Amino acid sequence: LTAYLVGNVPYNMGEEQLIDVFKSVGQVIGFRLVFDRETGKPRGYGFCEFTDHETAMSAVRNLNNIDVGGRPLRIDLADSDPFLEGKTTVRDPNAFLAAIPPGVPVPPGKTPPDVISQVLAEMPPSQVIEVLAQMKAFVITHPEQARKLLMAHPQLGYALFQAMIMHKI
């Protein structure tokens, strides 16, 4: 899952309309517009979340600088991840769940916690942080689906906990 900063957004467009624009290149998990805290008015930018890197890159190639509502959109990889702050709007919990990769068999002589720790240790730190941020956003926006997911897959709960320990969270 990849977050991209979308700038030069027309002030009169809502999140749903922007999701429709980005769906033209592939599956969109959600979009969050940023509003001025004092005035409550849109600030002209937001964050779009795609299910995979290929879709995000397609958005950059095909939608960057296209005219939307009289303004050319600017699309860049987000410098700061709004999902770490729990401020995203996850629109489609099924898309989030479909993006979770399948598990791997536990090799003979190893335990599931050993395998989970090894996989986490081999992942780039930014990817681990992204997974934690996505799960946080999912828990905030869809607590019941998150509970069902964690109950059905206790190894995911262990992996999330282990990842937080590894990253001193």
Predicted confidence band of residue 5 (pLDDT cuts 50, 70, 90): confident
CATH of domain 101-167: 1.25.40.630
CA 39 to chain centre: 27
Calculate mean pLDDT across residues 86-96.
53
pLDDT of 97 higher than 80: no
Sequence-ordered list of residues with C-beta below 8 angstroms from that of 47, at least 6 positions apart, any chain: 3, 4, 5, 6, 31, 32, 34, 78, 82, 88
Q: What is the pLDDT of residue 8?
A: 93
CB 63 within 8 A of CB 76: no
Inform me whether the pLDDT recorded for 78 exceeds 70: no
Q: What is d(CA 140, CA 151) in angstroms, rounded to the nearest whole number?
A: 17
- Do 101-167 and 2-77 have the same topology in CATH? no
Decide if 98 contacts 129 (C-beta within 8 A): no
Distance of alpha carbon 86 from alpha carbon 118, whole angstroms: 27
Q: Which of 75, 88, 73, 64 is nearest to 10 (CA)?
A: 73
Question: What is the residue whose two structure tokens read 């998990």?
Answer: 29
Q: Is the pLDDT of residue 148 over 80?
A: yes
Measured CA to CA, the distance from residue 166 to residue 113 in angstroms comes to: 14
**For the chain, percent of residues with pLDDT exceeding 90:** 27
Highest CATH level, class, for 2-77: alpha beta
Whether 86 has a pLDDT exceeding 50, the answer reads: no
Please report, as a single letter, which amino acid is at residue 107. P
> What is the per-residue pLDDT across 13-57, written as a single tens digit (0 to 9) for each?
988 899 999 999 988 888 888 887 788 888 898 888 887 788 888
- Position with higher pLDDT, 133 vs 62: 62
Mean pLDDT confidence for 100-107: 74
Lowest-confidence region among 26-30, 85-89, 106-110, 151-155: 85-89
In the predicted structure, residue 88 carries a pLDDT above the cut 60: no
Distance CA 106, CA 112 (A): 6
pLDDT above 80 (res 122): yes
Domain boundaries, the chain: 2-77, 101-167
